[in-house]
Amino acid sequence: MIQCTEGVRRRSIASPTAPRRENALLVPHLERPPDVYATAARPGLRTRLASRLAARARARRHVRFFALTDATPATRIVDVGCGPLGLRAFAPDLHVTGVDLSPRPDYPGPFVQADATQGLPFADGEFDLAYCSSVIEHIAPERREAFAGELRRVARGWFVQTPAFSFPVEPHALLPGAHWLPPALRRPYWRLGVAGEWEDIALLRRNEMAALFGEPVAERAGPLAKSWISVRSPGRG
């Protein structure tokens, strides 16, 4: 089922009327960034430390987002897998339409409930930029090409981030090496993590991201690639 709110039409979304301004004015400015481990089933020292590190990493990522995409308030953005806030948590001045599998009645802007693997209710090139952060690893590998194809279809550019398979700590359960185990071994090990309910999450390798969205850049923790980010600026070509 596809549900639309706040005047989102099936074939067009009106361009914003806000004036363009320098990107430097749009960098993340929240005093308290969202806690990505706030809903952890087993909160404790691990989640407290991970929350601080994740907040810093996400703030740096969003500064990088503006540098790589040249986004302004006039840029039409679709945030696929937005959750309660998504990109709007860090950049409330941007013109963002949220898309999520779950209903988000409190989402602060235009919102569509839809499954991108089955098609998005937007015209080709309706958006300047598709944004997607820490979503594609939750999608079954056999459905990822359909998901990526929809992002590439509805937007002229994209910014897609996902945790790196090569990083030694699984970021959802906060367990060393959990993502390197086959599901039969990972499932019982998962109970020791902070995530609680089992989910078969398959992190992506660099070449998988490259095949879906183009050659990614690394978001690093020291010498290690912690995440992959594939970017295509809307102005390219």
Q: What is the pLDDT of residues 169-191, one digit of tens each?
A: 999 999 999 999 999 999 999 99
Amino acid (one-letter) located at 139: I
Domain that holds residue 224: 71-165+203-237
Q: Indicate whether 115 belongs to any domain.
A: yes
- Residue 231 in domain: yes
* Within a domain: 89: yes
DSSP state, residue 15: P
- Residue 30: inside a domain, yes or no? no
Residue 119 pLDDT > 50: yes
Contacts of 93 (CB under 8 A, 6+ apart): 18, 26, 73
36-72 pLDDT tens trace: 667 766 778 887 777 787 778 878 888 999 999 999 9
- Choose between 41 and 31: higher pLDDT: 41
Please tell me the number of Cα atoms within 13 Å of 109 on its side-chain side: 24
What is the pTM for the complete model shown? 0.84
Say whether pLDDT at 16 is over 70: no
Give the strands of the sheet with 127-133, arranged side by side: 3-5, 111-113, 95-100, 76-80, 127-133, 155-163, 224-232, 217-221
| Total tally of structural domains belonging to the chain | 1
Q: Is residue 232 part of a domain?
A: yes
Q: Is residue 174 part of a domain?
A: no
- CATH number of the domain residue 104 falls in: 3.40.50.150
H/E segment holding residue 232? strand 224-232
In a domain, 20, yes or no: no
Give tens-digit pLDDT for 122-133.
999 999 999 999
Asked if residue 138 belongs to a domain, the reply is yes
Burial of 138 (0-12, 13-18, 19+ CB in 10 A): middle
- Mean pLDDT, the chain, whole residue set: 86
Count of positions (residues) in the chain: 237
